[in-house]
Amino acid sequence: MAAERNADGVERRLPTDEARELLALTRDIARREIAPRAAEEEAAGRFPRELFTLLSRSGLLGLPYDPVYGGGGQPYEVYLQVLEELAAARLTVGLGVSVHALSCHALARFGTEEQRAAHLPAMLGGGLLGAYCLSEPSAGSDAAALRTRAVREGARAGSGGDVGDGGGDWVIDGTKAWITHGGIADFCTVMARTGGAGARGITAFLVPGDAPGLSAAPPERKMGMTGSPTAQLHFDGVRVPDARRLGAEGQGFALALDALDSGRLGIAACAVGLGQAALDEAVAYARERRQFGRPIADFQGLRFLLADMATRVEAGRALYLEAARLRDEGRPFGRCAAMAKLFCTDAAMQVTTDAVQVLGGYGYTADFPVERYLREAKMLQIVEGTNQIQRVVIARHLVGPESR
């Protein structure tokens, strides 16, 4: 097993030399192309589409997927460390790669061979960018209550609900909310109601981003992550052939939850990256800033604060990597993924808050990046299942579902 040390001297173990080279490439791109422009572009609310094109050409957009379809064939343990490095340079980029991978999940895991061959190469290495469309204005944490509806038209007589092309089209109407890459995505994985109420009435579809009838509302005005567009998507008679149905009819919610288990690990890795960036900034400042004739890093109160920050970052990293290894080994990892998302994002919130405190008044200004890190960390406690929902998931694994 290859090993190297990260910027703060902690040894990081990687499964192969290829993985070590991949992480080195990621760090080089992050240092040269991503970090120098991050503050300016976030302040301007600019999405760096050209960086995602570069990441696609570098093979970093499809790392955990099958090389047969243009993926990187990397274990999640490696993919998540790449995400961490990207997020440390700019959360908009790290989170964007995570969302893109999430939007590819249903097709890669549950699509037919014909569907994968037709669409995955462009999605994984062809410069396309994806969006994941589950939440709605009235269906957030209660995602199974979604109202967007798909009605089938012109199906062949006797065609069933199994995976494959049953003929005819689906017409989708409704509104999706809080969609990362809303309005700029080239494709969307969309969950829509095709049957009765509840989780079993939902089906998944792969919808082109330029489909007639699909439009985006103006991007949400957010406290952080201003460079990453988040918008409602409106489906007004969007027609999708049955060949773009993913999985069987009524299987969509199960597909969505399966993707979210993996997506939560992506959020956890991004949170650790953000926390590491805040810690690095705080340590560097503490070494340089002088008060009472010596660096503030000499004062025990501040040294203890930095020690707690570092411990939270390192503990979060260990937790998400443990969940990744469970996933790579084909073992149940949902509980550990929920724990990683919960712990790592709470840790990022605390570490970024402490980083602002270390910098004092300067930390509260836009002249230093820690105020941006703090605003961005809050979002990570909310997306892909709030941290309250993660506690529900963990508790269910421990003691079973709630009594009704």
The one catalytic residue in 21, 114, 384, 402 is: 384
Q: Can you tell me whether residue 181 is helix, strand or coil?
A: coil
Using a 10 angstrom Cβ sphere, with 0-12 exposed, 13-18 middle and 19 or more buried, the burial of residue 314 is: middle
Determine the Cα–Cα distance for residues 157 and 330; give it in Å rounded to an integer: 39
Please provide the size of the chain in residues.
404
Q: Are β-strands 187-193 and 130-133 bridged in parallel, bridged antiparallel, or unpaired?
A: parallel
Determine the Cα–Cα distance for residues 292 and 273; give it in Å rounded to an integer: 33
Q: What are the φ and ψ backbone dihedral angles of 331, each rounded to 5 degrees?
A: -100, 160
Determine the Cα–Cα distance for residues 85 and 195; give it in Å rounded to an integer: 42
116-119 contacts, C-beta under 8 A, 24 or more apart: 116/69, 117/69, 119/187, 119/206
* Dihedral in degrees, nearest 10, Cα atoms 185, 257, 248, 148: -60
Determine the Cα–Cα distance for residues 250 and 233; give it in Å rounded to an integer: 22
Q: What are the φ and ψ backbone dihedral angles of 144, each rounded to 5 degrees?
A: -70, -10
Using a 10 angstrom Cβ sphere, with 0-12 exposed, 13-18 middle and 19 or more buried, the burial of residue 362 is: middle
Encoded tokens for 165: 């092309």
136 is catalytic: no
The answer to whether 255 and 329 are in contact (CB under 8 A) is no
The answer to whether 137 and 177 are in contact (CB under 8 A) is yes
Catalytic residues: 384
